[in-house]
């Protein structure tokens, strides 16, 4: 068994199950074999995430998403033609999570009691029969038909929410878009604050980011984000954003999508070996945040592995998600102390959650 257990703050498990039609109970080799010859997605046959590999990597807790975008007729992004359809898609994803609970693969974490109970069980139960703890998050709020739907989601377990994803959203503007919050976005943030739902700043465009953090007084994290100073793109955090997140007590999850790790990546053309994209590059982003913070209290793992990409756009020295354990050695080689390594692997996320749910 690997040394430190891991908290991974961003995995699109239900998207992989429902839209990619992957049975995550199967082995990685079986999932890849079943997709051999398929061309509907660029990452077919290249997936790196399933339940077995999560357990091999000692990934005890994941923040697992629901995701469904609404698109207007002039929006070229893939998505649903009405908020109601997007809501129904997220409900199918939620139903899948409940089925995985029934089959013993997952266990829900919704409060401090369930978090501590799960961690105790994870440390004492034997591999491989462990249920992986999951915290439910919504990536992009488009599927909230109205703000009132947020309370419905809270009662079935939603505990974190990112108001936008890619492009313009119904509540906020996301990656590659521009502009501030929509009027309903401000209402959404107030309702999130009332329900103590964590604001995920990931994917908010600059204007929406600053407006959201000005309005929202609750707990904020950036589940899967890297640094704009190293890879210059609006999807990344600027140094000023990083400073503000640190001031708010946030944790920033390092993401393993190659184009966010190394500069000049051309999606669909570049490959990890040619671009020298390995796990070491993630430590560069960690170092940058730590230099701004003056400590290692604000970095963690938010891998986003199999987030609509696979091995073709992951670090070349990562075969499956179990290889997240190699981050420990890389941090050691960079001079991080064992105490700080523990913070990165799980401690910072747990400290954040214990404070948010106290």
What is the pLDDT, as a whole number, of residue 3? Answer: 76
What is the pLDDT, as a whole number, of residue 235? Answer: 98
Could you give all domains of the chain from N- to C-terminal order, each with its CATH number?
6-356 (3.20.20.140)
Q: 232 CB contacts (<8 Å, ≥6 apart)?
A: 263
Q: 116 CB contacts (<8 Å, ≥6 apart)?
A: none
Phi/psi region, residue 309 (left: phi>0; alpha: psi -120 to 50; beta: rest), is beta
Q: 182 CB contacts (<8 Å, ≥6 apart)?
A: 169, 170, 171, 172
What is the pLDDT, as a whole number, of residue 127? Answer: 62
What is the pLDDT, as a whole number, of residue 2? Answer: 47
C-alpha separations of 68 from 81, 122, 123, 175, 246 in Å: 11, 31, 34, 15, 29
Element (H, E) at 188: helix 183-195
Distance, CA of 190 to CA of 63 (rounded, Å): 22
Start-to-end Cα distance in the chain: 31
Q: What is the phi/psi pair of residue 149, to 5°?
A: -65, -20
pLDDT in single tens digits along all 358 residues of the chain: 347 999 999 999 999 999 999 999 999 999 999 999 999 999 999 999 999 999 999 999 999 999 999 999 999 999 999 999 999 999 999 999 999 999 999 999 999 999 999 999 999 887 667 999 999 999 999 999 999 999 999 999 999 999 999 999 999 999 999 999 999 999 999 999 999 999 999 999 999 999 999 999 999 999 999 999 999 999 999 999 999 999 999 999 999 999 999 999 998 899 999 999 999 999 999 999 999 999 999 999 999 999 999 999 999 999 999 999 999 999 999 999 999 999 999 999 999 999 999 9
133 - beta bridge partners? Answer: 61, 107
What is the pLDDT, as a whole number, of residue 331? Answer: 98
Angle, alpha carbons 220-226-227 (nearest 5°) = 105
What is the value of pTM for the model shown? 0.97
Q: DSSP letter at 197?
A: P
Distance, CA of 90 to CA of 105 (rounded, Å): 20
Strands 59-66 and 220-221: unpaired
What is the pLDDT, as a whole number, of residue 128? Answer: 64
């Amino acid at each position: 068994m690997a040394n430190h257990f891991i908290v991974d703050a961003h995995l699109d498990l239900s998207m992989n199950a429902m839209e990619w039609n992957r049975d995550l109970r199967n082995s990685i080799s079986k999932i890849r074999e079943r997709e051999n010859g398929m061309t509907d997605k660029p990452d077919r046959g290249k997936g790196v995430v399933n339940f077995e590999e999560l357990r091999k990597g000692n990934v005890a807790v994941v923040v697992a998403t629901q995701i469904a975008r609404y698109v207007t007729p002039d929006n070229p992004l893939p998505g649903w033609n009405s908020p109601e359809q997007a809501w129904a898609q997220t409900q199918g994803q939620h139903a899948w999570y409940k089925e995985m609970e029934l089959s013993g693969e997952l266990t829900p974490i919704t409060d401090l009691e369930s978090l501590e109970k799960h961690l105790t069980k994870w440390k004492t139960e034997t591999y491989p029969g462990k249920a992986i703890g999951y915290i439910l998050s919504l990536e992009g709020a488009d599927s909230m038909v109205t703000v009132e739907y947020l309370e419905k989601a809270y009662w079935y377990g939603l505990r974190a929410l990112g108001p936008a994803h890619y492009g313009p959203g119904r509540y906020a503007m996301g990656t590659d878009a521009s502009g501030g919050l929509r009027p309903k976005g401000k209402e959404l943030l107030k309702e999130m604050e009332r329900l103590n739902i964590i604001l995920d700043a990931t994917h908010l465009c600059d204007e929406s980011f600053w407006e959201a953090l000005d309005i929202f007084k609750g707990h904020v994290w950036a589940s899967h984000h890297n640094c704009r100073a190293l890879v210059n793109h609006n999807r990344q955090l600027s140094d000023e954003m990083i400073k503000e997140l640190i001031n708010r007590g946030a944790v920033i999850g390092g993401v393993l999508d190659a184009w966010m790790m190394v500069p000049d990546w051309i999606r669909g053309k570049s490959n990890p070996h040619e671009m020298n994209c390995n796990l070491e590059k993630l430590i560069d982003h960690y170092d940058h945040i730590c230099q701004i913070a003056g400590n290692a209290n604000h970095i963690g793992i938010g891998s986003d592995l199999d987030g609509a990409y696979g091995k073709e756009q992951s670090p070349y020295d990562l075969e499956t998600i179990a290889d997240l354990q190699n981050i420990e050695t890389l941090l050691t080689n960079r001079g991080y102390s064992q105490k700080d390594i523990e913070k990165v692997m799980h401690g910072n996320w747990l400290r954040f959650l214990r404070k948010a749910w106290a």
